[in-house]
Amino acid sequence: MEPKARIDIKKIKKIAVIVVVAALLLTLALTCWYTVDDKQQAVVTTFGKVTDVTDAGIHFMLPFGIQQVHKVDVNVYQKIELGYRTDTSSPEGYRLVEDESKMITGDYNIVNVEFFVEYKVSDPVKYLYASYEPEKILRNLIQSQVRTVVGSTNVDAVLTTGKEMIQQQVKELITGVLAEYDVGLMLTDVKIQDSEPPTEEVTAAFKDVETAKQGAETVVNEAKAYRNAEIPKAQAQADKTLQNAEYLKQQRINQAAERIALFEAMYSEYVNNPEITKSRMYYEIIIKMLPGVKIFINTSQDGVEMMLPLDDFLSGTAPAPNTMPNTAQNTEVE
């Protein structure tokens, strides 16, 4: 019976060795491959030195610790909350961190400013090895630059109309310093989550100021609308006045031309018949100066006095001679 027992022990040993070798081979096979998803990059080190950076897919590496793989999320936008923290257990959904949010403005007012910053890893190698805790460096940098910008801005701009400008300035400053530090991080967005005075009384006062500003803007807009409506009317009236003035000017010119023509015609008659023209002009002036008075011309012919009415001469009708003596009601012109 002993030879058979020895045979069984040998078989068992062989089987055990085969199982161990198979397990080792399986373990070796599993440790020689690694997978990187589409949001990551993998930094490969050989004996502790960076030798490769791989993208999404299945890759081979040397086993037994010769090569190591460090996966980094590079296509994922991460965030830093400054001045508050998201807290689902809170009724508001967040909690304030006053040590981070309380700041002094350029005109020495205190405000609470909450920032939301997005960033991503731009260089996985530098992210892993260029600095210790790069996220902490970025947080401290954000706090420093935010306080710098807010500290040079007046409180009205921080609370109302200057938020976009502050965000842009903070982003530019942080981007410049990150490029200088070169820690493998890239800033993608900076947003002011909220900004408010530290007390309710100051908040109410600023709301009143904002309401007054909105009222002023409303009045200005109404005034501009009135101006825009009245200017065309005034322009139309001005055009009408100019046209009327042009018409009156042309009328005066025409009247002057007529008078010139009349004068020239009268002068021509005067040159040809000066005595008759002078008499006619004299009689016309008398009638014009004494309207309603009947005027007679006293003439003598063969010793007989004749009274000729002047208006009949001027009207062109033949007068009937009046041989009666002059009366007191008549005006006699010789």
- Answer whether 0.95 is exceeded by the pTM: no
User: From the CB of residue 54, how many other CB atoms can be counted at a distance below 10 Å?
Assistant: 18
What's the confidence (pLDDT) of residue 168? Answer: 92
pLDDT, tens digit only, all 334 positions of the chain: 455 555 577 777 777 777 777 776 666 666 788 889 999 999 999 998 999 999 999 888 887 778 889 999 998 899 999 888 888 888 878 888 888 888 989 888 888 899 989 999 999 999 999 888 899 999 999 999 999 999 999 888 888 888 899 999 999 999 999 889 889 999 999 998 888 886 677 667 777 777 888 889 899 999 999 888 888 888 889 999 999 999 999 999 999 999 898 888 888 878 888 887 777 777 778 777 777 666 666 555 555 555 555 555 445 444 444 444 444 334 444 4
What crossing angle do the helices spanning 274-289 and 200-272 adopt, rounded to 10°?
140
* Residue 16 backbone dihedrals phi, psi, to 5 degrees: -65, -40
Q: What whole-number distance in Å separates Cα of residue 49 and Cα of residue 51?
A: 6
Pick the CATH number of 95-198 from 3.90.76.10, 3.40.50.300, 1.25.40.340, 3.30.479.30: 3.30.479.30
Whether 77 contacts 188, CB under 8 Å: yes
Report the chain's terminal Cα–Cα distance, integer Å: 193
